[in-house]
A = this chain, B = another copy of it.
Amino acid sequence: MRANKGIDLNKDRLAAFSDGVLAIIITIMVLELKVPHGADWAALSALLPIFLSYTLSFIYVAIYWNNHHHLLHTVKHVNGAILWANNNLLFWLSLVPFATAWAGETHFAREPTILYGFALLMPAISFTILTTAIVRTHPNEPTLAKALGRDAKGKVSMALYIGGIALAFVHPSVAYTCYGLVALIWLVPDRRIERELKHE
C-alpha cells in the first residue's frame, strides 16, 4: 500500500463526507417550508419570513462549501487533528437549519435572532480551528501559512457576528444587517489561496 495513495484516499473521503453532510444540511432546510393548507397567495405569503431565512442560510452554507473546497486544495496530509476539526465544523453547521427555522417561524424575534448569530459564529470559529490544524500539519509550506495567516476576513466576520448578537438587543434588524455584511464579504471565494498558488 503506497503511503501516497492512502493520503489521497484520506483527502478524497474527507471531501466526499463533507460534501454529503453539507448537501444534506443545505437541502433539509427547505423542509421547513411546510406546504400551506390554502391554495391562494395569502397562504403562500405567510411563508415569506421562512423563505427569507432559508435564502440567507442557503447562502451561508454555500459560502462554507466554497471556502471548504478552496481550503482542502491546500491540504496534502490528513491526520486525526484535521479530521476532528472538520467534524467539529460539520457539527456546528448541522445546527444552522434549526436556528434558521426558529428565526423564520418567530418572524425574527430577538432571542431567535441571537441564537441565529451564535449558530453562524460557531462555524466561523470552527473554520478558523480547521485552518489552524491544516497549517500546523504542513509546517514546511510557508506559502500556505502566509496565505491563510492573517485571515482578515475571518476576524472581521467573527467581530460582525458578535456585534450583531449584541445589537440584537437594540433591534433584530440591526443584527441581520451585521450578519448580511458577513455574507457580502465572503461571497467572493477565497482569492488569498488562489493568488498565492499562482506565485508558486
Q: Which positions in A face B, CB cutoff 8 Å?
A: 1, 3, 6, 9-10, 13, 15-17, 19-28, 30-33, 35-36, 39-41, 44, 55, 58, 62, 65-66, 69, 72-74, 76, 80, 83-84, 87, 90-91, 94-95, 97-98, 101-102, 105-106, 109-112, 115, 187-189, 197, 200
A22 to chain B, nearest CB (A): 7
Interface pair A30/B115, CB less than 8 Å apart: no
Bound: A171/B97 CA distance, A: 34
Interface pair B28/A25, CB less than 8 Å apart: no
Point out the residues of chain B lying under 8 angstroms from A73, CB to CB. Answer: 1, 6, 9-10
Point out the residues of chain B lying under 8 angstroms from A106, CB to CB. Answer: 39
Point out the residues of chain B lying under 8 angstroms from A102, CB to CB. Answer: 35-36, 39, 44
Point out the residues of chain B lying under 8 angstroms from A31, CB to CB. Answer: 28, 31
Additional A-B contact list (13), CB under 8 Å, known A35-B102, A44-B115, A55-B91: A1-B74, A15-B16, A17-B22, A17-B65, A20-B22, A24-B24, A26-B90, A30-B95, A32-B35, A33-B95, A39-B106, A39-B109, A65-B87
